[in-house]
C-alpha cells in the first residue's frame, strides 16, 4: 500500500565518518534515542537545574550548565574543577542515566575506543547568541580516554582547531542526534562553538543541548 509509506516516520541514516586518527563524527547516531535522552534530562533537571556559572575572573558563562554522574564540572571565583557535589544543592549530582552511559560507550566503541567508562556527563544549554570560545579540555586526570559529545536540538557550527591556538580552524555543522568522539592524538585539540543562530526543534524548543561524556 502506498499509504503505508506516508504513515512511516522517517529516521535518518546513521553515517560514521572518521575525520582524522582521533576524531570521528557519527551523524544521527543519537537520533533514535533522543526522546529518551530528553526525558531523562527533564528528570535530572529537577535535581540539578541548569545554572550560569562564573569564571575565576568573575564573568558569567553564557552557556547554562549542569551535570550528572559521579563528578561534575564546576566553575566559580576559585577556578574550575571536577566536584562530586553540586554547589547549588550541596548534594551529589544526579546519577548518570543508563541510556546516557550506554550511548556514550557504544559511540566510543564505534570510534575505536574499547574501554571507555564515562564518569562525568556535563550538560550544556545554548540559547541563540550563546557561544563557546576556542579552548582545550585539559582538566581530566587521564588523556587516554576519549571524549564523547552528543548534540540535541538546534544547529551549531562546531569549531575544530589544532594542537596550538593559532592553527587553522574548520567548521562542522552539528544537528539533532549527531555524536562526535575525540581521543588519542586529537584529545588536546582546540575547539569551540560559534554563536548559535535562532532556530526551533520540536524536542528542545529554541535551544541546543550538548551532552559531553568524560572519564576522569
Residues forming contacts to ligand MD3 in the complex (CB under 6 A) are: 122, 124, 132, 137, 147, 149, 182, 186-187, 189, 191, 193, 210, 212
CB of 191 to Fe ion, least distance (A): 6
Q: Which is nearer to ligand MD3, 85 or 194 (CB)?
A: 194
CB of 137 to Fe ion, least distance (A): 4
> How far from chain centre, in Å, is Cα 179?
8
Least distance in Å: CB of 47 to ligand MD3? Answer: 20
- 94-99, long-range: CB within 8 Å, 24+ apart, which pairs? 94/43, 94/44, 94/47, 94/48, 94/68, 95/68, 95/69, 96/68, 96/69, 96/70, 96/121, 97/40, 97/43, 97/44, 97/68, 99/33, 99/36, 99/37, 99/40
| Residue 187, contacted partner among ligand MD3, Fe ion, none, CB below 5-8 A by kind | ligand MD3
- In the complex with Fe ion, the residue whose CB is nearer, 103 or 159, is 159
Smallest separation, CB 161 to ligand MD3 (Å): 8
Partner from Fe ion, ligand MD3, none binding residue 67, C-beta < 5-8 Å depending on class: none
Cell numbers that stand for 12 in this block: 535518518
Amino acid at each position: 500500500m502506498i499509504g503505508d509509506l506516508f504513515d512511516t516516520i522517517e529516521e535518518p541514516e546513521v553515517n560514521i565518518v572518521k575525520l582524522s586518527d582521533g576524531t570521528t563524527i557519527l551523524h544521527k547516531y543519537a537520533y533514535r534515542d533522543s526522546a529518551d535522552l530528553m526525558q531523562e534530562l527533564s528528570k535530572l533537571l529537577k535535581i540539578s537545574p541548569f545554572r550560569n556559572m562564573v569564571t575565576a575572573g568573575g564573568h558569567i558563562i553564557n552557556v547554562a550548565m549542569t551535570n550528572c554522574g559521579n563528578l561534575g564540572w564546576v566553575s566559580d571565583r576559585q577556578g574550575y574543577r571536577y566536584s562530586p557535589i553540586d554547589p547549588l544543592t550541596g548534594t551529589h549530582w544526579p546519577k548518570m542515566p543508563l541510556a546516557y552511559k550506554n550511548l556514550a560507550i557504544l559511540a566510543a566503541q564505534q570510534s575505536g575506543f574499547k574501554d571507555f567508562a564515562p564518569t562525568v556527563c556535563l550538560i550544556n544549554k545554548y540559547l541563540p547568541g550563546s557561544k563557546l570560545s576556542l579552548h582545550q579540555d585539559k582538566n581530566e586526570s587521564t588523556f587516554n580516554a576519549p571524549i564523547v559529545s552528543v548534540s540535541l536540538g538546534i544547529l551549531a557550527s562546531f569549531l575544530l582547531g589544532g594542537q596550538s591556538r593559532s592553527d587553522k580552524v574548520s567548521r562542522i555543522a552539528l544537528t539533532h542526534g549527531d555524536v562526535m568522539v575525540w581521543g588519542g592524538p586529537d584529545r588536546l585539540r582546540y575547539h569551540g562553538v560559534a554563536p548559535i543562530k535562532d532556530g526551533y526543534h520540536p524536542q528542545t524548543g529554541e535551544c541546543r543541548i550538548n551532552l559531553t561524556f568524560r572519564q576522569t
